Chains A and B, each alone.
Chain A
Amino acid sequence: MIEAKQLSKSYGGQIALQALDMNIKEGEIFALLGQNGAGKTTTINCFLGFVEPTSGEALIHGVSVSNNPLESKQYLAYIPETVMLYPNLSGIENLAFFSSLAGQNYSEEKLKGFLSKSGLQESAQKQRVGGYSKGMRQKVGIAIALAKKAKALFLDEPTSGLDPKASNEFSEILKELSGEGTAILMATHDIFRAKEVAHRIGIMKEGQLVSELNAVDISANELEMLYLKTI
């Protein structure tokens, strides 16, 4: 579902991504670990079409992002590290707006359903986003992704800054989505959560995927040791 073939990106002489190969199947959660600047965000941006790869190809549901950016975007949803919304609109209005951008029109009931599912308390749904906390905005971001019913979900450090309870709820939603067949690529610094939620874990260094393993084969402590050794 999410596939990279020899994906490379360099800015001037600086290599950000070097011949990355990766294949994430339906229902699979792939966690990317790595230091800042290792190439995790660049990888996600290549799939989102925000960044044009220097060479190689990024495919979503078999559709090349570079050649068919409009089509590939139909299949994906994205939750940035910090979900920023329109402060003058309420949570439910923001959700309605972003869904309409993707060409979807939901009834108010449905929209409320998505927000409740992502954990936003009902009393806050009609309040303006200007007064939301980071966690609340993050939940609206999740609802936007849920509403899009995407085949591929990209997450850039989605739990950074969330309290443990919110992080935990978030993991549950990811597992649920994966159960429904969504392929998920998640860049994160949170080794513990990566081990807990992901099926496969990749460690990136200087634009390359230097090790890749199944989450069941390793404990969180071992993973941490491996990570520290690798980078």
Chain B
Amino acid sequence: MIYLIVKNFFRSKAHGIGLVLLLIAGLISLEIGSRFLKKTEQVSVKTAQYQQESILRNVSYFDKEMGTLMYYLKFGLENKVPNLAALSIGQRDIFPTVQSVTVRNLEEQRFSTDLTNPLYQLLGNMDFSFVLIYFFPLVIISFGFNLISEEKEGGTWSLVRSQAGSPMSFLRYKMGIRVISVLAVLLVLLLVAKFYLNIPMNQHFLAFILVSVCYVLFWFALTWLVVSFQKNSSTNAQTLLICWVFLNLILPAGINVFQRWLFPIPEAMTTVIQNREGYHAQWDKPKEPTLEKFYARYPQYASFVHPKELDFSWLWYFAMQQLGDEEAASEVTELKSKLRQRLDLSKKVSWLIPTVHTQLTLNSVGLSDQGNYLNYLTALEEFHEELKHYFFPKIFQDSPVREEEWSKFTLRVFQDEYAVSWLKTLAPFVIFMLAFLLWATTNFKTARLN
């Protein structure tokens, strides 16, 4: 029986076409991922190169005064892109991979980054996660929506029911071949991805694979539930497409609106303004209070003093820059905590919406989500702080420029961590699938099919 069910499945052209389209879309997405990796790789290689060149060039121009040189010198921190991110680009396409900062105030530099073609942002990337989340369900729906109704509408159902004691095993095999064929395409794509994109086999990739498989099974479980009501084909198709629209479009957009409403972030704008005001105003103010605040923040520099007779010293200049950051500090903390709250909220809500859960998890393991960006922001702060503490004493005592070993300032790399919580990752799928399967079983029992 299984052999003939398989034969019947593959002899229908629509099924073959569906699987091939899925495969092609998947392969295209892998190519897009590969290009993304190449691009980010290029950015970091070029930045590293440029950083060295730029330091050396600046050193050759401004070798008289450490302060002047440090006004210009930029040091980069790369947010390391794991190869897995190629499968789920997430927010990586809007946030920069590398940011270079001077020891001047941080907040003004933080958001002045490389430009991205807004067209790409408009369309989004057709990365693998897109194909998985949006396209796979459509094929699953098209394979399964008429599982029973095609028999009824094609007239074979009465013969099936009179021949088989219970048609349930027939239906399970029929669904089974659909599940296996779609899973096979998924696994082939992931296998190709593993080698084509050189993805290391670690817990992140394992989580990625399991989530993808669970996501596919979730849609099959939903389809199984819908067909268990034994409505006609068009009703089933409509129901499933409405589910698709809700789960993939309306609910995610709804969560987004809800988040924005719950945690508005006016700080994004005011931070930059506060920061600029914070230090620009200092030019017209007496210098002592500025320095007092700087000493209060960093007592270790109290031994360096601003010569009273001078209008300008690098000590005052960088103290004034520091003040700009401090003016904006509370706003920055607020901004980050709100971004974090938005992220936490969507992770909580995603327990109820498997599509959102899938996207968030894939982005998390690919280190391409908001969480990674927030960690990177913190790492950038630490990096900036470290630079300041290295260079401030040298600037304030005006160490000879040529004595510094400049070649050691290569591009720094930030390697983010993400620990997979297996329970949180898989439980939402398991709960939904169990609920759907139980409900479907009840429906089949009520209809006396088993």
**Contact residues of A with B, CB < 8 Å?**
48-50, 52, 69-71, 73-74, 76-78, 80, 82-86, 88-89, 93, 96-103, 141, 144, 148, 154
Assess the A102–B163 pair: CB atoms within 8 A: yes
Give CA–CA (A75, B4) in the complex, Å.
24
Give CA–CA (A102, B159) in the complex, Å.
11
Chain A proximity of B34: nearest CB distance (Å): 38
Instruction: Report A-chain residues with C-beta under 8 Å of the C-beta of B307.
Output: none
Give CA–CA (A85, B156) in the complex, Å.
6
Beyond A70-B166, A84-B156, whether A50 also contacts B161 by CB under 8 A is yes
Assess the B162–A73 pair: CB atoms within 8 A: yes
The answer to whether the Cβ of B1 comes within 8 Å of any Cβ in the partner chain is yes
Instruction: Report B-chain residues with C-beta under 8 Å of the C-beta of A77.
Output: 162-163
Instruction: Report B-chain residues with C-beta under 8 Å of the C-beta of A98.
Output: 159-160, 163
Instruction: Report A-chain residues with C-beta under 8 Å of the C-beta of B7.
Output: 88-89, 93
Proximity string of chain B (118-160) to chain A, C-beta cutoff 8 Å, 1 when within and 0 when not: 0000000000000000000000000000000000001110111
Instruction: Report B-chain residues with C-beta under 8 Å of the C-beta of A74.
Output: 165
The answer to whether the Cβ of B164 comes within 8 Å of any Cβ in the partner chain is yes
Instruction: Report B-chain residues with C-beta under 8 Å of the C-beta of A154.
Output: 162
Chain B, residue nearest A98 (CB): B163
Beyond A73-B165, A144-B163, whether A80 also contacts B8 by CB under 8 A is no
Give CA–CA (A102, B163) in the complex, Å.
5
Give CA–CA (A71, B166) in the complex, Å.
10
Give CA–CA (A154, B160) in the complex, Å.
14
Instruction: Report A-chain residues with C-beta under 8 Å of the C-beta of B4.
Output: 89, 93, 96-97, 100
Chain B proximity of A69: nearest CB distance (Å): 7
> What band does the interface of chain B fall in when counting residues whose beta carbon is under 8 Å from A?
20 to 34
Instruction: Report B-chain residues with C-beta under 8 Å of the C-beta of A88.
Output: 7-8, 11-12
Chain B, residue nearest A87 (CB): B154
Assess the A84–B154 pair: CB atoms within 8 A: yes
Chain B, residue nearest A89 (CB): B8
Which of B1, B12, B160 has the most chain A CB atoms closer than 10 A to its own CB?
B1
Other-chain contact of B165, A69, A89, A148 (Cβ < 8 Å): A69
The answer to whether the Cβ of B170 comes within 8 Å of any Cβ in the partner chain is yes
Give CA–CA (A74, B162) in the complex, Å.
9
Assess the A86–B165 pair: CB atoms within 8 A: no
Chain B, residue nearest A82 (CB): B155
Instruction: Report B-chain residues with C-beta under 8 Å of the C-beta of A83.
Output: 155, 159
Chain A proximity of B311: nearest CB distance (Å): 90
The answer to whether the Cβ of B46 comes within 8 Å of any Cβ in the partner chain is no
Give CA–CA (A101, B168) in the complex, Å.
11
Assess the A97–B1 pair: CB atoms within 8 A: yes
Other contacts beyond A49-B448, A78-B158, A102-B163: 11, CB < 8 A: A52-B448, A74-B165, A78-B163, A84-B155, A86-B154, A88-B7, A89-B4, A97-B1, A98-B163, A101-B164, A144-B163
Which of B154, B164, B165 has the most chain A CB atoms closer than 10 A to its own CB?
B165
Instruction: Report B-chain residues with C-beta under 8 Å of the C-beta of A102.
Output: 163-164
Assess the A48–B162 pair: CB atoms within 8 A: yes
Other-chain contact of A86, B156, B161, B170 (Cβ < 8 Å): B156
Chain B proximity of A65: nearest CB distance (Å): 11
Instruction: Report B-chain residues with C-beta under 8 Å of the C-beta of A70.
Output: 165-166
Other-chain contact of B159, A71, A73, A80, A103 (Cβ < 8 Å): A80
Give CA–CA (A103, B167) in the complex, Å.
12
